[in-house]
Amino acid sequence: MNFDFSYEMLSNSVILLMAGGVLYLFLWILGIASSRVLRLTGDVRSVFRYAMLFGNVAYMGYPVVELVIGKKGVFYSAVFNIWFNILTWTVGIRIMSGKTELSGKKAFLNPGMISVFIGLVLFFTPLKLPVFLDEALALLGESTIPLAMIVAGIILASSKISAILKGRTIIIYSLLKLCVAPMIVFLFLSFLRLPQTVEKVLIIMSAMPAAANTSIFARLFDSDFELSSRLIASSTLFSLISIPLIISFLE
């Protein structure tokens, strides 16, 4: 995020941050509505709603946005993911655990948020990273796409295809997360006049498969770990088809 300050990037970031909040609200409503239609209960409902709300906007979101928008896509992805980092440690915990106590400290003091704050300081001030550190981070940033493919491969390798495709809930979730949600977002944005960059980030992030955190939180809070793993595997598998289609559409 070592970019020179520009009013265009600042304006896009503010718009993206506000629109990102609306997007998460939409995904939350979609998760509640669809889980009620499917008559899900207990841990199954919790895992389903969590997976609907939280997509893999980090490991897969960053490289896809960068691929479509360029280097500045990393900056915009980080701005959008402020919501992910906050909601994961508040709403996410509440969904999985059923606890009403929310961790405000973890919402703002976690590695994702700290890195974003450092990047924003560098953006808004004349401060620059040392050359050796800037080059090292640039090399690390270039590894996001290969790492995303490795993560996807690990997820799919640990699951049996036959098990992934079993169950109405699994198939419906994948369709909602990868097709219905981004289509609704696209149609809604067509009535607005947002910067093209902002629109692309919102559409891409709305189309990401289930976050890896889904299974981590399911295990942590003794929820339905098996279902969480299947939701991640199925949506990741189908995203290998849906994401390239979205990229070709946006380009």
Tokens of 93: 């915990």
Q: What is the mean pLDDT of residues 50-74?
A: 88
Domains and CATH numbers, the chain: 7-250 (1.20.1530.20)
- List pLDDT tens digits, range 68-85: 998 888 888 888 988 888
When pLDDT is cut at 50, 70 and 90, the band that residue 222 belongs to is confident
Q: What is the mean pLDDT of residues 81-102?
A: 80
The confidence score (pLDDT) of residue 197 equals 92
| pTM for this entry | 0.81
Which span out of 9-13, 29-33, 193-197 was modeled with the highest average pLDDT? 29-33
Q: Is the pLDDT of residue 232 over 80?
A: yes
Q: Is the pLDDT of residue 159 over 90?
A: no
When pLDDT is cut at 50, 70 and 90, the band that residue 244 belongs to is very high
When pLDDT is cut at 50, 70 and 90, the band that residue 233 belongs to is confident
